[in-house]
Amino acid sequence: MSEKGLVIVYTGGGKGKTSAALGLVLRAVGYNHKVCMIQFVKGSWHYGELDSAKRLAPEFEMITAGKGFVGILDDKSPREDHVKAANDTLDISKEKIMSGKFDVVILDEINYALQLKLLNLDDVIDLIKSKPPELDLVLTGNHAEEKVIELADLVTEMKEIKHPFKSGIKAKKGIDF
């Protein structure tokens, strides 16, 4: 009999949710587990994990399917485009979760996509409930829904205490992106 797969949630307003999930990737790949990370909101910017993910292949697959951050900085996409991208990403997630190819699937920034109403909460709940019993499923992003938290086996909330941006220090390569 295989072990029970966990539902893990990394949420909260502090930095480190995606980084925690990537730490889990390193650990899982170290045991030859197959991991897929699907990014819901990130998409238009280049960041370091895109390059490092290639170094962990074939055990690690990263899919960036979002249209980028919604409503900030250089976002010029209509809201409908973000909604379509999020729902297409949810379809990709279902396919990967049900494929039987992965030990761990990470839905990066899915909580944020829910908070922005890019996704229907019931669709995400159904996805969580239908995952194969041995699959570990990780959901990241701020504003985790109470129903998601209730289904989780492990929930960690990142809390910001201090952030360099508030002192005028810009995002740093290798640390922030």
Give pLDDT, residue 1. Answer: 44
Give pLDDT, residue 90. Answer: 97
Domain residues for the domain of 136 are 7-167
Q: List Cα–Cα distances, 144 to 10, 72, 112, 173, in angstroms.
A: 8, 20, 7, 27
Tokens of 136: 């570990």
Q: Determine the residue type at 112.
A: Y
pLDDT of residue 73 exceeding 70, the answer is no
Tokens of 39: 């990014």
- What pTM was estimated for this model as a whole? 0.90
42 located within any domain: yes
Backbone angles phi, psi at 39, to 5 degrees: -100, 120
Band the pLDDT of 48: cuts 50, 70, 90: confident
Q: How many domains does the chain have?
A: 1
39 located within any domain: yes
List of residues 6+ apart from 70 with CB closer than 8 A: 41, 79, 82, 116, 118
Paired strand residues for 155: 9
Band the pLDDT of 37: cuts 50, 70, 90: very high
CATH number at residue 38: 3.40.50.300
91-119 mean pLDDT: 96
Band the pLDDT of 57: cuts 50, 70, 90: very high
1 located within any domain: no
Q: Nearest CA to 134 among 34, 57, 43?
A: 34
Tokens of 134: 């041995």
Q: Which of 10-24, 41-55, 71-85 has the highest mean pLDDT?
A: 10-24
Q: Nearest CA to 144 among 112, 105, 108, 107?
A: 112
160 located within any domain: yes
Mean pLDDT computed over every residue of the chain: 89
37 located within any domain: yes
Paired strand residues for 104: 35, 136
Q: Which residue has the tokens 């996509």?
A: 113
Q: What percent of the chain has pLDDT over 70?
A: 89
Cβ atoms of 96 and 65 closer than 8 Å:
no
Cβ atoms of 118 and 83 closer than 8 Å:
yes
85 located within any domain: yes
111 located within any domain: yes
176 located within any domain: no
